[in-house]
Structure 1
Amino acid sequence: MEKAYFLFLVAMVASLATASSSTTNVVALNNTSDHDLDALLAFKAAISDPQNILQINWSTSTSVCNWIGITCNRRHRRVAAIQLPKMGLVGTIPPQLGNLSFLVWLDLENNSFHGNLPTQMVHLRRLKHINLAFNSFDGEFPSWLGALSRLRYLSFRNNIISGSLPTTLSNATMLETIRLGTNLITGNLPQDWSALQNLEFLDMGNNQLEGPLPRSLFNLSSLQIFSFTNNTLSGYLPARICDHLPQLKGLYLSNNEFSGAVPAGIGGCPRLQILSLSYNNLAGNIPKEISNLTMLRVVFLAPNDVQGLIPADIGNLTNLEQLGIEVANLTEHFYTKKYLSSKSKMKGLGEGVTILGIKVKINSGGYCLYQYHYIDKILDKLQHLKVKEISTLFDPNLKLWEHSHNPIDQVEYSSAIGSLIYSMHCRKLDIPYAVSRLARYTKNLNMNHWKSTNRILGYLKRTKSLEVFYNKFSMVLEGYSNAEIPEHEIKVKECIYEPKIEEEDYVHDPNEEDEEVEFLPCLPTVESEVDPNSSTLALNGLA
């Protein structure tokens, strides 16, 4: 009897202990959940939501796990993901976001966030994916990113982040994708990248980087995309550039100040599809080893001081679609075009060529320049503006003045103006005055500037099939702005052609659905003359 009573007491104590433990766990869980709630409420208070989706849906009467854009993990019911891309949100990231200790995924792409990234985000030790692209974040590049040891995907592209890259970035050894293009990052690159052996995608184009490329970058054996287009990088490219880059698919180094020869070792990248080295100071001959790249689709080597004959074995490049090289004269160009069209996938060449983004229709009467495809790309990129055709450039009732408050979509506006400047310099002789006026306000714009930009886009949409024509007897092309154009000086007529969709000069990243159109730089010689004896020609097999 006493033994039974003793066992009963033991069972009662165990039951009470279990209940106490369960109660403690519930209290602890509630406390940690409260941290998540407080952090998200602080985030909500720091932003404005034009659509009022968060204002209505993010209510304390429901669990945060049921809020739009929030995903919780199954085990702890803690916030694991914030996904709010393309929602028009405006504001800053509050320090309290660093309290979301279970956060794995943060995606705020394509909104209007601004300000610095809070240092408290260093506490997000579980973070694997951070995508803040297409916003207006500014300030120095965050040095604490290297402390996020589980980080695999990093995208800050198309922001206003400045300063130099910290050496601590390579501490995030799990990184697979780094996308920092189109910012204001300056200075030399860190010398040691050898720890990032998982890195597959590296894009730092359209910044202000200078100095040589660190040799350790060419030892990242997993690297597939290598992009530093449009910086001021200099120095020589390694002669055996591909020895440790067996997976490389895209090499984008155009618009820099590299010198020396095109590396003969480029033939050692068997998977290479895109080779873009245009607008540098490279010299020497086109290496014959380039013929080994049987997967090559796009080659841009001009303008440089690369000379000599085109390698005879270039016909081995059966997948070649676009070729941009310098040739001595049009006779050699047409021979090359005919030869490659018979050997590779370059098709529909006809009598037309592409000079770094400008379509040229060549016939016995002269030359016709058009940018139908380019204007379509601009309009497609800005389709949310709902551009309508219009016949005049200006609305006299719209007044432009400096905006004293926060600019409206500054990054996108700068991109749109850049696209219009490209068209202004390369072909459209009737828009320089209008574009130059709008270009003054890239940092202090208001809604009237967007309305004026929309009007210019509407004018381009209406006139995109009107092209510049000049005959073979007069090689001087003169433009007039807001003036009558003498018919005997310059002719504008419609070219007859079939517009076709063009494939971009880059490989798409599978982690993101939408890619911006990469616009090629304007060819300076097009403004003044086209010399039939010496031209920089890009053969476009898709146009």
Structure 2
Amino acid sequence: MEKTCYYILACTSVLLQISCSCVAVKKSTTPAVDQFSLFVLKSHVNLDPYGIITSNWTNSSSICSWIGVTCDLRNHRVTALNISHMSLSGTIPPQIENLSFLVSLDLSFNLFSGVIPQQLSLLHRLKFISLQNNSFTGFIPSSLSNLTNLRVVDFSLNSLQGNIPHVLGRLHNLHTLNMDYNHLSGHIPSSVFNLSALKVISFRGNELTGSIPSDLCSKLPLLQEIDLYFNKLSGELPLNLSECSQLRLVSLSDNLFSGKIPREIVKLKFLRILHLANNNLNGTIPHILVEQGVIPFEIGNLQNLTEFAIDQNQISGTIPLSIFNISSLQLLRLYHNHLYGNLPKDIGNLTKLNELDISVNNLSVELPLTLKPQSADRPLPESLLSSPEEPIFFSKQSLNLDFSYEKLSLREQQK
């Protein structure tokens, strides 16, 4: 009797192991699991105005031929899901975790809502995730830090709240982190600035407070864009910006930053956009911001700069005249500061300029003002000129000029 019981128990144990093994194999290696997960996602879509998911995701065809689905050739497992720009409404079901071969997930520009499911953190192959421009709420899951293969995270234009999880500092392969236009609060975790692979940091349009590290660029040698526009950040601007030698965009406008504009900025030879407007910055515009006299080659002269905005600060002193030799400039906003001195009558090489605003300062502007050589084909209206014989010329773009509250003087004609 005892032998019989032992035999039955042994057989039962073996059968259970085999059964469990079969289930595990089926779950990890069969496309049927992916099909089931996508059907669950389809059932959670409550609005499909173009009928794409409704009519295309059916049993009559392989999931690898479904719109928005990409499979690998070897295993026929789903590796990419891109159902962006379809105006879909619904939620992400927890069964998303079963898409275990998924490398890229793009649900951007839809109407998805609800919370970001924790189950996303089980997709260990994931490198790209974009939930941009939806209506997701709740918090950023801390468990995302488990996805150490992630390169791109874009949760911008949603209604997420709470803090940025400190544990995101574990994502050492991350090169783009975009959380624009949510309701995030608290400090930016210092761990984010230790991610040496980062190229883009963008948290614009949130409610973030605190300061950014004075040695911001010490561990960010590849950083190309930092956009913290429209938050509540304070403190001084980082002094070691030159160590982020690849910077193309620095947008720190509409915060509470104070102190001076770091002279280190002049070393950023790839810089195209520099927005520091509407802060509490003081001091002067660095006179070596552009080439002035003999400047060491390694400092550079920001000849790639297209937008320079330091308006609505407390900047004083004169405008470095050589700033008007940056031929790439398209936007120059210096208004509402404490600048003084004379604006040169010939601002030379600004042939691409389409906005110049120096209003609400204490500048003297001598008219007529030449913005482009007289080979240009569109002068300003004569009503704005003091001498129609010497009109103000400007390039073919629509140019906005604002000299409000400045001292305008008329240059006499040479006889």
TM range (shorter): 0.7 to 0.9
DSSP-derived class of the 1:140 partner: coil
- Counterpart check, 1:302 vs 2:318: no
In 1: Cα distance, 2:354 partner to 2:102 partner: 51
Question: Partner of 2:109 in structure 1?
Answer: 110
Match of 1:207 in 2: 206
Q: Return the offset for 1:150.
A: 0.9
What is the deviation of 1:51? Answer: 2.1
Trace 1:144-543 onto structure 2 (pairs within 5 A). 144-215=143-214, 217-219=216-218, 220-242=220-242, 244-291=243-290, 292-326=301-335, 335-336=343-344, 338-340=345-347, 342-347=348-353, 353-354=356-357, 532-533=405-406
Amino acid at match of 1:139: G
Say if 2:221 and 2:244, in contact at 8 Å, map to a contact too.
yes
* Match of residue 452 from structure 1: none
What residue identity is the alignment partner of 1:344? L
Provide the residue aligned with 2:10 in structure 1: none
Deviation at 1:270, TM superposition (A): 1.2
Query: Counterparts in 2 of 1:24-43, with a 5 A limit?
Result: 28=26, 32-43=30-41
Report what 1:142 is aligned to: 141
In 1, Cα distance between the equivalents of 2:197 and 2:40?
A: 35
Letter in 1 for 2:99: L
1:531/1:183 Cα in 2 relative to 1: closer, same or farther (>3 Å)? same
**Matches of 1:38 and 1:142 in 2, distance apart?**
25
User: Residues 347 and 119 from structure 1, CA distance in 2 versus in 1: closer, same or farther, beyond 3 angstroms?
Assistant: closer
What per-residue deviation string (whole Å, max 9, x for no partner) do you get for residues 116-165 of structure 1?
01111111111111111110001011212211111111111100011111
CA distance in 2, matches of 1:190, 1:120: 24
> 1:61 offset after TM fit, Å?
2.6
Go from structure 1 to structure 2 and tell me whether the alpha carbon gap of 1:29 and 1:290 turns closer, same or farther (over 3 Å shift): same
Q: Are the aligned partners of 1:330 and 1:534 in contact in 2 as well (CA < 8 Å)?
A: no
CA separation of 1:331/1:262 partners in 2, compared to 1, >3 Å: closer, same or farther?
A: closer
Structure 2: distance between partners of 1:217 and 1:116: 32
Return closer, same or farther for 1:189/1:225 CA change in 2, 3 Å cut-off: same
TM-score by length of structure 1 reads 0.58
Secondary structure at 2:40's aligned position in 1?
helix
Structure 1 counterpart of 2:364: none
**CA distance in 2: counterparts of 1:121 and 1:108, whole angstroms:** 13
Q: Kindly indicate whether residue 130 of structure 2 is the aligned counterpart of residue 131 of structure 1.
A: yes
The structure 2 residue matched to 1:47, chosen from 27, 45, 48, is 45
Higher helix fraction (1 or 2): 1
How far 1:179 moved relative to its partner? Answer: 1.3
In 2, the alpha carbon distance for the partners of 1:217 and 1:330 equals 29
2:36 is aligned with what amino acid?
D
Deviation at 1:202, TM superposition (A): 1.4
CA shift for structure 1 position 28: 4.3
**1:14-37, CA deviations, whole angstroms, 9 ceiling, x for partnerless residues?**
xxxxxxxxxx9xx84896222111
| Cα distance in 2, alignment partners of residues 133 and 77 from structure 1 | 28
Gaps of 5+ in 1: 1-23, 357-363, 365-470, 472-496, 503-525, 536-543
CA distance in structure 1 between the aligned counterparts of 2:397 and 2:324, rounded to whole angstroms: 25
Q: Which string of whole-angstrom CA distances, capped at 9 and with x for unpartnered residues, describes residues 470-498 of structure 1?
A: x9xxxxxxxxxxxxxxxxxxxxxxxxx99
Q: Which amino acid aligns with 1:37?
A: Q
Residues 324 and 350, structure 2, Cα contact 8 Å, conserved in 1? yes
> Which whole-Å CA distance do the structure 1 matches of 2:36 and 2:212 have between them?
45
Secondary structure at the counterpart of residue 192 of structure 1: helix
Q: Secondary structure at the match of 2:119?
A: helix
TM-aligned CA deviation for residue 67 of structure 1: 1.0
Q: Unpaired runs of 5+ in structure 2?
A: 1-21, 291-300, 360-366, 368-383, 385-393, 409-415
Contact 1:164 1:187 in 2 (8 A): yes
* CA deviation after TM superposition for structure 1 residue 332, in Å: 5.7
Give me the whole-angstrom Cα distance separating, in 2, the residues matched to 1:328 and 1:162.
Answer: 35
The Cα shift of 1:500 comes to: 5.0
Q: Is the 8 A contact 1:330 1:533 kept in 2?
A: no
Q: Distance in 1 between matches of 2:351 and 2:309?
A: 16
| Percentage of matched positions with identical amino acids | 35
Q: CA 1:213–1:40 in structure 2 vs 1: closer, same or farther (change >3 Å)?
A: same
Per-residue CA deviations over 1:176-235 (Å, capped at 9, x if unaligned) read: 111111000100111123541111111110000001013453231101111000000000
Aligned partners of 1:313 and 1:31: how far apart in 2? 65
CA distance in 2, matches of 1:296, 1:111: 35
Letter in 2 for 1:236: E
Q: Which has the higher contact order (CA 8 A, sep 6+)?
A: 1
Aligned-residue Cα RMSD (Å) equals: 3.1
**Displacement of 1:532:** 2.5
Question: Is the Cα contact below 8 Å between 1:143 and 1:169 reproduced in 2?
Answer: yes
AA at the equivalent of 1:322: L
Q: AA paired with 2:221?
A: S
Flag the 1:348–1:188 CA change in 2: closer, same or farther, 3 A: closer
Deviation at residue 50 of structure 1 after TM alignment: 2.0
* Structure 1 residue 294, shift from structure 2 partner: 2.0
Aligned twin of 1:65: 64
Q: 1:289 to 1:144 in 2, by over 3 A?
A: farther
- Cα distance change, pair 117–55 in 1 and its aligned pair in 2 (3 A): same
Seen in structure 2, the aligned counterparts of structure 1 residues 93 and 501 have a Cα distance that, compared at 3 Å, is farther
Aligned residue pairs total 342
Alpha carbons of structure 1 residues 60 and 267: separation in structure 2 relative to 1, 3 Å:
same
Residue aligning to 2:14: none
Q: CA deviation at 1:316?
A: 4.3
Residue aligned with 2:49, SS: coil
Partner SS for 2:333: strand
Residue type of the partner of 1:33? Answer: P
* Kept after mapping to 2: 8 A contact 1:170/1:196: yes
1:331–1:229 CA distance, 2 compared to 1 (3 A):
closer
Matched position secondary structure for 1:275: strand
Give 2:92's aligned residue: 93
Q: Is contact 1:270-1:293 (8 Å) kept?
A: yes
